Structures are given as structure tokens and as C-alpha cells.
Chain A
Amino acid sequence: MQIEERFLISAPVDQVWAFLLDTQSVADCVPGCEAVECSGENSYTARMKVKVGPISANFDVQIDITEMAPPARLKSVIKGKDSRVASSLNASTVLDLVDLGSAGTEFHYRTDVSVFGRLGKFGEGVMREKAREYGERFAASVKEKLEGGGAAEPSGDAGNGEDGRSVGRVRRLVSWAARLPGCRAAAGKNGD
């Protein structure tokens, strides 16, 4: 299933890029994504919950950032499974940022998602609809977080406060991310 969203964010491209490097903040925008932990250089683990009515799947996923070309392109691959419902999830994403000067930044992502196993068999139309819905919600969350003035604080750490965010706070968050074990590469490339 392909999900594609393209939208304008009223924020400079450097700020949007810094937001992308804060994996926790990006994960907060993904519906059902939680417990994000850094597991290596450009690698993270997380849990992704997919809910369709009475059916809930909890995928234990590995997220690998496979390419970074700041501040324009970021590629990642997500793989995971939920043994309880004998299903697995694969997604590869390309994120492109276009600097539109005073107009802001164009945020364009394309994701190829596949769900295999019992959940995939259950209803391919339903899963496609869910993928589309999740894509729309992700786009709306990203736009909301960035147009508030900066990336939100990472949840699970300092709560969900969104009080007068600023570029300065974004830079402090990026530095925080850089101090996580094994995650030295991300913030460094931003040049902050």
C-alpha cells in the first residue's frame, strides 16, 4: 500500500530538518507509535499499535534510517511483527523537504507499507483505509507541531507540554538526542 502526503509547513527548512532528527518527536506524530528507544547508530526500536475495531495488533518494530542528506532527504525502513496475531509489518519511507524561502517548507513523504499474515488477510481494503488514515493523521500532527513554533517535547520524558516552543528549544532537543547512547550521528549532521 502506498501512502503519500505533500503539505506546506510555515517553518524554515532547518527547523523542519531538526524536527525530523528528533525521532521521538516524529514518532509522536505516528498514530499508535510508542516506546521509542535508540538501539544503535541511526537505529531505533518501537512499538506500533494498529487498531481496527475490536482487533488490536502491537508490532515490535525496528526502525533504521538508511539515508540522510540534510536538510533535504531522509529515508527509513521499518520492520516488525506481532506474534499474537501472526502478522508482520514492513514500511519504507522517503521524506523530502523543499525550501520555499519565506513561504516555509514543503514536506513530502512517500511510504510503501505492507502487512502480512492474519491481519493482512483479514481485510486488505480495511488495511489500506487505515494506512491512508494514519498517513493523514501523521501529516496533521507534524504540521501542528512545527507551526506551533518548534518541535514538541518528547513524551514519556517531560510530558506533552507545548508552551511557546522556539528554535532554541529545538536545538536543545537535538543535543539531547545526540547524547543518547549510540545516537551521535543524527544531531551532528545538522551542524548545530
Chain B
Amino acid sequence: MEEVEYFEPKSVAEACALLAERENAKLLAGGASLGALLKSKLIFPEALVTLKSVPGLREIERTPGGELRIGALCRHREIVESPLLREHCSVLAEAGAKIASPAIRNVGTIGGNICHGDPTADFPPALIALGAQLEVVGSGGTRVVPVREFFTDHYETVLSPDEIVVSIRIPPLPPRCGAASLDLTKTHNSVAIVHVAALVGVDERGRCTHAGLGAGGVASTPLHISEAATLVGEPLSPAGIERVAEAAMEQARPVSNSHASASYRREMVGVLTRRALRAAWERAGKAPADISATRGREEP
């Protein structure tokens, strides 16, 4: 086993500097994804930089303007159990509850889940539908990256080697919203085959004011289905839903593996899009600021 250096910085700046100095360093958050990757013996980092002693990365806050800020090192369990998120953005809590098992939810972090770049990860579709952004800090400064622009390929993101995601920002959402997060899995806590999350806002006259859709498991990255934005201005109609479902199927570039074929994945992203949009729309009519989710489980 080759030797690996281990660093425990006390600030984000120190962590960025360590990453910048070493070409082959890996950042350690919770360790759920990185641990699996190290065990696979397919990566050979020369250094591990842990964030566990860096303060300020574990808070969940809501600003007076209604923006939600989630620290990147919040564990999945903290997301699921957060009273603030359950009240204002429960679709995220529902997405987190789907992840694997309690043991893994105690270890994994939302930042790690996003930065690992797995196209079947559970948070990105919901974050894309919500229009979420990531606060990124590097040696060169700070920048904000929309989640929908964050992923470039399997396990690849726009992050430079010395950059760290420090928080996830959910913008203030319209007063009447509904969201749904649906995934297709073989068993209760296995990896999603296809995952679709929808957010819909509605005004008092029943017209759509806001629509967002994210899809996972049908391309090399989580997808932003931009066609959803064309729903704005009209009440949601079967024709509108069908148009967005067709766009999702068109945009998908699935590949087959032992879990599901490409054609099945493409078919299912259309099915889940229709169901997620309908469910989100129904929920939008319920109560102001109720972004609760329907977690559908479909066993193939």
C-alpha cells in the first residue's frame, strides 16, 4: 500500500492551499463516496485533506429573504431531520431519505454526494428542479455555480483541483409551490435506475408561474430539462406535460448496464416526468410555501 499523507486543516483557505500544492490530493468530506472509491483500488491519491475540523460547513439556515443555505458538510441524516428543511423544502429531505441506508446517511454529506458527480445521485435532480446554486471557494476566490451547470461528465464537475463547495443555496421560491421527487429502483435502498424531480409554482388563477425539472440516471450527468420552463404562463395541461416528457426522453442519452437497458431508461424518464409534474402540480394547490414531496417508489 502506497503511503498517503493526511491533513486536517482548520479553515477553508488552508484546505484550498493544501489542495493547490499537491497535484494528487483528494478532499475528504463524510467519506461515503471516497471510501468506496479508495476501496475499489482505482485511485491512488498521495494526500487526503479532510474537512472535519473546518468550522462553518454544517449549518442549515434560512435568510430573511427566504433563501435556504445548507452547509456542504451536512450529513444526509441532518438534511432528512432538519425542521427548517421539512417546513420550507421537504423535497430535499425526501430525496435524502432515499439514500441507501441509515448507516450511510450518518456518514455521507450533501456536498460529497454532489461533488462525487455520480449521474444517479439522489440530491442533484431535486437541486436542479429547485434552481439551486453552489458556493465554491478556491485559491483564486469565491464563485457561485448553478447546480444545473456543475456536472460535465461521469464523476466530473467544473471544480478545479483546489476548489471546495462550501454551501448549497436554494433561492426563495414562489409562495405557492409543489414538488415531487420520484425514483425507480430495484429494491428499497438500491441505486436509482432513473430519478426525476419536479418543482411547480402556481398563481391564484391556477396558472404556472415557475417550473423546474431535473433527471438522473439517463446521461453521463444529472440533466436539467429546460423544456419545463415553457410551462410557465398557462395552467398545466396534458399537452404541456407530454411536451416536457418528450423533451426529457429526447434529451436523455442513456446507456445500458446490468440494472436496466438504455431503451428502458429512456422510456422511464418520460413516465416519471409525467408523474412528477402531475404530483408537483397537485401539491402546489395545497398550501402556501408547501414544497412537500411525493416519494413514489416503482418496483419494475
- A-side residues, CB < 8 A to B, are 52-55, 57, 84-86, 118-119, 122-126, 128-130, 132
Contacts and interface: CB of A to CB of B under 8 A. Distances in A.
Interface string B33-52: 00001001111100000000
A53 B40 contact: no
A122 B117 CA distance: 15
A53 B156 contact: yes
Nearest to B153: A53
A124 B258 contact: yes
Contacts of B145: none
B257 A123 contact: yes
Interface in B255-269: 255-258
B6 interface: no
A125 B257 contact: yes
Contacts of B255: 125-126, 128-129, 132
Nearest to A132: B255
A55 to B, nearest CB: 5
A55 B257 contact: no
Interface size class for chain B?
A: 10 to 19
B165 to A, nearest CB: 16
A124 to B, nearest CB: 5
Contact of B41 (A86, A126, A128): A86
A129 B117 CA distance: 15
Interface of B: 26, 37, 40-44, 117, 153-156, 220, 255-258
B125 to A, nearest CB: 18
A53 B40 CA distance: 14
Closest A-B pairs by Cβ, 9 of them: A53-B155, A125-B257, A55-B42, A125-B255, A129-B255, A53-B156, A128-B255, A126-B154, A124-B257
The listed residue with most B CB atoms (<10 A of its CB), out of A54, A118, A119, A132, is A54
A52 B257 contact: no
Given A128-B257, A129-B220, A52 B37 contact: no
Contacts of A125: 255-257
26 contacts: A52-B154, A52-B155, A53-B153, A53-B155, A53-B156, A54-B26, A54-B43, A55-B37, A55-B42, A55-B155, A57-B42, A84-B44, A86-B41, A118-B40, A118-B41, A123-B257, A124-B257, A125-B255, A125-B257, A126-B154, A126-B220, A128-B256, A128-B257, A129-B220, A130-B154, A132-B255
Nearest to A87: B42
A67 to B, nearest CB: 31
A85 B155 contact: no
B299 to A, nearest CB: 21
A130 B255 CA distance: 10
Nearest to A128: B255
